[in-house]
Structure formats: C-alpha cells, structure tokens
Amino acid sequence: MSGYAELSREELEALHGELLGRYEAFKAKGLRLDMSRGKPAADQFDLVSGLLDTVTSQSSTRAEDGADCRNYGDFDGIPECKKIFCDMLGVAPEELFVCGNSSLSVMYDAIGKMMLLGVRPGAKPWRYLDKVKFLCPAPGYDRHFAITELYGIEMIPIEMTPDGPDMDTVERLVGSDPSIKGIWCVPKYSNPQGITYSDETVRRFARMKTAADDFMIMWDNAYAVHDLYPDRRDTLLNILDECKKAGDPDRVMIFASTSKISYAGAGIAVFACSEAVMKRMKELLSFQTIGFDKLNMLRHARYFEDLDGVMRHMDKQAELLRPKFAAVLDAFDRELAGKGIAEWLAPNGGYFISLDVMDGCAGRVVRLCKEAGVVLTGAGATYPYKKDPRDRNIRVAPTYPTVPELEQAVELLCISVQLAAVEKLLAA
C-alpha cells in the first residue's frame, strides 16, 4: 500500500469509513486495559520468588563483614550487595552507595540536596541562584521532568538522535550558559525510545566544557542489564571512567535499581559517583538516615550471588518480555509500515517502545484509545512541561499486559493511529 499522503480524497474517505468501522467494533468489545506505566507483570516476579527464602528465621542475618543486618550499621550498604552493583556499573566500592527501594527517590533527593545544600565540592546551593536550568533530552522519562519542574528548574528540551541526545546542541548550551546546571539521561535503552548512547556521545558528555562549575549529569542507568536478546546486547561506555580520563569525575551521578530486576515495590536502589562527591553525599546522608534496609540487601545478594546471577535471571525475564515486544512491533510492521504516518525503533532492551505518529496526532490517538478502553501514557508526557512540540510521540509500555491483551490493545492503537492520520489529511 502506498503512503497516505498520496491517496485521493475519495480513497481517504473510503479508508476512513473502513477504519471507523474497525474502531467501533473494537469499542463495542468493552476492553479495559491500562498500558500507561512501565509496570512489570507478575510472571516476572515469580522468577525471583526464591529471593524471599534467603533470609528467614532459620538463616543467619549477618553480612559477609559480620554486620547484623537487623541492626544499624554498614551505612553505605553490605559488601556483597555493593559488589553486584559495582560490577554492574563498573565502579569501585567506595564509589557506590546502596539505598532503599526507589532510585527515583534517590534522584529526587539528590536534586533536593543540590538545591538546598550543594553536592559537588564547593558548589553553591541552587536555592540562592536566580535561575537554574536543566537540559532534558526528549522524548524522555516523565518523572525526571516532573522533579525538575517541581523545584522550579527551567527545562530545555534536547532532541534525541539514534546515538543519544543531540550533542552539538548540548555542548553549545552548557558551554555558554552557567545557569544550566545539569542534564537528565537514561543512557541505555532510553525511556521511551530504547536508544543506547554511542561511545562518542558518552565521551562528549565526559569532555564537554561546562560554563557551570557545578554541572551534574544525572545518569539514570535504569536499564543497565535489561537486554531483550542475548545475542544483541547494547553496550554502554562507562561514564565515570570517561569523566576521570577527561579530568572531571565529579560531574556525574549514576543511578540504578532492581525495580525491574527483582521487585518493583520492594527492590534495591543505588547511586554511584566520584569519591569526592561520595564523601559529600555520605556527609549529607548521615543527617538523614542511620542506614537503609540491609535485610533486603542481604536477600538480593544471597539470591543473585553475583552479576552473572543477575544476567542469568535477566535472560529468563527477557524470554517473558520478547513475545510482548514482538506483539507490538509485529502489529506496527503489519498495520503502519510504509504508510508515511508513523515511525518507531525496535529496541534491543528496556521497557518501552516509542511511536511517533503524524504531527499533531498523538493527543487524538491517545484519546481514541482511551475512549475504546485502552489507557496509554498521556500524549506529551515524554516531554518537559508535558508539551510535545509536534504532538506526535506516544510511549507504549508492553510489559504488564498478557500477549493476547497486548495484541488487542496494539491493534486498537494501530487503528487509532491510522484513523487520526486520515482525519488529519481529510481536514487539510
């Protein structure tokens, strides 16, 4: 079939009637599906149920270093748990801190500390500045943008390329404007596009000149081990190493968690950074807590044993997720390819598929789906201030529904994408 743009008015009208018929038939089914968030499904959790048996009344509650995990102590985490994350992120034990169950919480807190107290050595807290700005590669993670907006930090969207954020623009902006204090990054299997930053992109982040001497790269490595295909694993250059080589190791904080490895509600989060930034973070954290949940660290460390254990588990998880991603991508290929009305990438990992529909149509597509019973992430959510300048990006979260549910939901989505495109062309 040729592109929609080449169709005559009559052809478009016929197509509109046909699509509307399919849409109404769908609506009549009374489907009820929520695909708005990147939520794991229960079968993923079932894979790690043994984790819950690693610390019971019959087992020791002592960490490798002898610390009783039931009591205060081991402020930065128990050694065996730190080891797994150090290996995952390529950092040293003194560069890593194990926190509670939410990396979002750790990032929120880190930004709060930069605002109120200053995190980089010698940094003036941002609360004393007239203007603070952040770069926001977009489409990106809505919750990152929400935090910066909450704190009154001005957000500047940066376009994404297949190699990561548009680094020419990033370098130009951070090099000239000292009020630009940081950037949000999901460098591997980015949310929502599934893009992994190229080596060159990572090196440019490490080397770029920043007008602000307290610039901070918020490196949210949420999907560090979330490969979908054992034979096609994206690799991400070690940003902390590159920053060390470039002479400014203090410019990055790395975040990760097991929310999408073990449990979304009861996992473990970590951050990593240079020793100088860690010294300051530990000093500040010592005001805030006597320590995080070490029994849960112990469960994770005993169950996974090491990074290999994590990788073996993630390969099993990928078996559950591959058919879900395939269901979405197959439908896109079948229904949307070659029509000039939508673009997407097939990611090698992560939690999302990003769909770009015709300009000005994303809001309409999301509404059409909602009216027929499928809730998608709100249109615009993937952009700062929820404003997608071209109103075209839709984030698809395929992990939570079952494959049959997904097949139905994606069929509806594809019908809606086509319907919105035809409506637009007819109105032109």
Binding stretches for a second copy (CB under 8 A)? 37, 39-40, 42, 45, 49-50, 52-53, 55-57, 59, 61, 68-73, 100-102, 104-105, 108-109, 112, 115-117, 127, 143, 146-147, 150-151, 263-266, 284, 287-296
Q: Is omega for the bond preceding 139 within 30 degrees of 0, making it cis?
A: yes
Nearer to a second copy, 108 or 385 (CB): 108
Instruction: Provide the minimum distance between the beta carbon of 61 and a second copy in the complex, in angstroms, as a whole number.
Output: 8
- The separation between CA 12 and the C-alpha centre of its own chain, rounded to angstroms, equals 38
Q: Which is nearer to a second copy, 281 or 365 (CB)?
A: 281
Which residue number, 211 or 284, has a Cβ lying nearer to a second copy? 284
> Residue 20 or 117: which CB sits closer to a second copy?
117
Q: Shortest approach of a second copy to residue 144 CB, angstroms? A: 10
Cis bond upstream, residue 157 (ω within 30): no
Q: Measured from the CB atom, is 57 or 235 closer to a second copy?
A: 57
Minimum CB–partner distance for residue 76 and a second copy (Å):
13
For the sheet containing 353-357, what is the strand order?
A: 342-344, 353-357, 393-396
Helix axes 307-335, 403-427, angle to 10 degrees: 40
Count CB-CB contacts under 10 A for residue 404. Answer: 9
Environment class of 31 (CB within 10 Å of its CB; exposed 0-12, middle 13-18, buried 19+): middle
Q: Report, in Å, the least distance between residue 353 CB and a second copy.
A: 20
Shorter beta-carbon distance to a second copy: residue 36 or 161: 36
- Minimum distance from residue 286 beta carbon to a second copy (Å): 8
Q: Closer CB to a second copy, residue 99 or residue 419?
A: 99
Q: How far is the CB of 265 from a second copy (least distance, A)?
A: 5
Residue 306 Cβ vs a second copy, minimum distance, rounded to whole Å: 21
Concatenated DSSP letters of 186-230:
--SS-TTT-----HHHHHHHHH---SSTT-EEEEE-TTTT-BS-T
CA distance 295 to 182: 34
Residue nearer to a second copy on the CB measure, 69 or 415: 69
Beta carbon of residue 125, minimum distance to a second copy (angstroms, whole number): 9
**Beta pairing, strands 96-98 & 269-273:** antiparallel
Helix (H, G, I), strand (E, B) or coil at 45: helix
Q: What residues contact 24, with CB distance under 8 A and at least 6 apart?
A: none
The values of phi and psi at residue 117, to 5°, are: -130, -20
- C-beta of 8 vs 49, nearer to a second copy: 49
**Cα–Cα distances in angstroms (integers) from residue 312 to residues 223, 259, 288, in the given order:** 15, 17, 36
Report, in Å, the least distance between residue 105 CB and a second copy: 5
Cα–Cα distance measured from residue 204 to residue 75, given in angstroms and rounded to the nearest whole number: 34
Q: Are 278 and 240 in contact (CB under 8 A)?
A: no
Nearer residue to a second copy within complex by CB, 104 or 406: 104
Q: Which residues contact 291 (CB under 8 A, 6 or more apart)?
A: 72, 73, 74, 75
Q: How far is the CB of 41 from a second copy (least distance, A)?
A: 9
315 exposure class (CB count in 10 Å sphere: 0-12, 13-18, 19+): middle
Cα angle 271, 118, 155 (rounded to 5 degrees) comes to 80
